[in-house]
Amino acid sequence: MTLAEVWDAFARAEREERLMDWRVAGVYVWPAMKTRLLRQFGESLALIDETDKQPSVFAIENAIDLKTHLKKPAKTQVAVVPFVRRDKNGNDPFTDPIVSALRAAGQEPLVFGVGTHDDGSGRPSLERMNKHFAAKHRNRSILRVLPFVFFGGAHRTRWAKLVAKLEEATGGSAGRFKAFPRWLLVEFLAQERGFRQYFNAAGITNVFMTNAYRRSLISAAQYKGRGWVIELQHGLISDRHPELAWPNTAWPAYVPDEFWGWGRYWLENSDLAAGMETRVIGAPENVARLMRQSNAKLPGSVLVISQPEQSQKLIEATVALAKLHPELNFSIKPHPKELEQASEAGLPSNVKLLSASENALQLMANVETVLGVYSTALIEALALRCRVGVFNLPGFEHIQSVIARGDAKLLRGPKDFDALLEQALPTDDSLANYYWAPPVDLDAVIKEMYV
């Protein structure tokens, strides 16, 4: 069983069981639950590993953050949801330019705090808001769900049938989701109500955001058609992306109204909902800047981009290649989510384990060959004129279309790696621009929207 086969089983069930129309207590069950269930099946089949527990804002008792989310928000038309991770200077290359352009257009957006990077910033913390709303509106939400508890036998039977169908098709396990997740309904309704009241108090009608999995926030912003949500591309998307790829419906619940992507490739190969508006805004400036430079390549250099769901398998695959090619120098760049650093003990002398905090873009600018499985960095490597190889590990399907175009090579074994090394480094700007268009003038785009 592969991740692609699991995805296909989910897509087939979605279509055959008409899951997109399924509502319980006012919640569209499938869009709210699909991503969690997909991960559960992937982990139960040992296709992906559990990721390290990430730092929590609740472990930081910063006085300014403990009450900011409880305050009445200032009046504004626009909210911005930053990416959870930042660069080494603490900046978000995806939403910071939007915030600057909004201010240039006379809009002062409400910028949420996301993750530990924003502790002490005075921004209202999304994590604390989720917890607060879940508690504040829990009883009201339970009352809405109670009829399902007493009279929802048909829904529970439907869920049991769905889970059994998925388990039979994949050989995986639904684990803790075997029983209908009533807790999900309560949590979703409570958080949706909280965000809806918060947005109404501020007068927010537009939300620029990263991370399309924030379903209750999206639902609140779109309530009764009053708001418009724009998802800003911040990572790899594909026709198997659990939050953005919807092959069976033109307009699923709880998805952004519009998607702003880096280049035509992403809009043409990602199975975005047919009703979603799209716009190409070009490469983030940190990528565009390196694309414009002439970057010296270190001969014989190979950079391996790790992935938290496949970190150990990637190390093993790298070691196997390094032993066959002592003339090459391999470096492994851990993913920022990999908090437990692997040991260099036992690694061949031509394999170096880097820090997760190092700048992957700058590293790729100076190497000849980049390897990985399904990281955004593999596509960034094309822009930075590197050869790109993809290990034959679960998840490579997310860039299957890149491989099919011949822009990256699937490494099924050592001979494929040897063939990759024989390839000339990319020189064609049209290849890079298909994935990473020149940046648009965001000031002009935002000004057109608000002035």
pLDDT number for residue 383: 92
pLDDT value at 119 more than 90:
no
Closest to 196 (Cα-Cα) out of 179, 178, 174, 218? 218
Cα-flanking dihedrals φ and ψ of residue 147, to 5°?
-55, -35
CA atoms of 125 and 59, how far apart (whole Å): 13
**Distances in Å between the alpha carbon of 297 and those of 294, 331, 370, 378, 424?**
10, 14, 12, 16, 13
| Global pTM value | 0.92
pLDDT category of residue 103 using cuts at 50, 70 and 90: very high
**Residue position matching structure tokens 């089949």:** 45
Query: Is there a contact between 119 and 62 (Cβ–Cβ < 8 Å)?
Result: yes
pLDDT number for residue 340: 65
Lookup: tokens for 295: 């970057």
Query: Is there a contact between 203 and 76 (Cβ–Cβ < 8 Å)?
Result: yes
Which has more pLDDT, 328 or 308?
328
CA atoms of 116 and 176, how far apart (whole Å): 28
DSSP at 358: S
CA atoms of 426 and 11, how far apart (whole Å): 36
Closest to 350 (Cα-Cα) out of 307, 301, 423, 292? 301
Lookup: tokens for 49: 């590993």
pLDDT value at 451 more than 80:
no
Domains and CATH numbers, the chain: 3-53+130-282 (no CATH), 288-435 (3.40.50.2000)
Which has more pLDDT, 413 or 346?
413
**Which pairs with CB-CB distance under 8 Å and at least 24 residues apart come from 262-265?**
262/233, 262/287, 262/435, 262/436, 262/437, 263/433, 263/434, 263/435, 263/436, 263/437, 264/434, 264/437, 265/402, 265/434, 265/435
Lookup: tokens for 124: 């209202």
pLDDT category of residue 155 using cuts at 50, 70 and 90: very high
Burial 141-163 (b: 16+ CB within 10 A, else e): bbebbeebeeebeebeebbeebb
Tell me: the pLDDT tens digits for 175-233? 999 999 999 999 999 999 999 999 999 999 999 999 888 999 999 999 988 899 999 99
Q: Cβ–Cβ contacts within 10 Å for residue 371, how many? A: 28
* Residue spans of alpha helices (H) in 171-300: 182-202, 215-221, 264-268, 285-292
Tell me: the pLDDT tens digits for 24-83? 999 999 999 999 999 999 999 998 888 777 788 888 877 777 788 888 999 999 999 999
**Residue position matching structure tokens 């490597």:** 381
pLDDT value at 109 more than 70:
yes
pLDDT number for residue 248: 85
Tell me: the pLDDT tens digits for 378-418? 999 999 999 999 999 989 999 999 999 999 999 999 999 99
Lookup: tokens for 201: 């108090």
CA atoms of 129 and 81, how far apart (whole Å): 13
pLDDT number for residue 342: 67
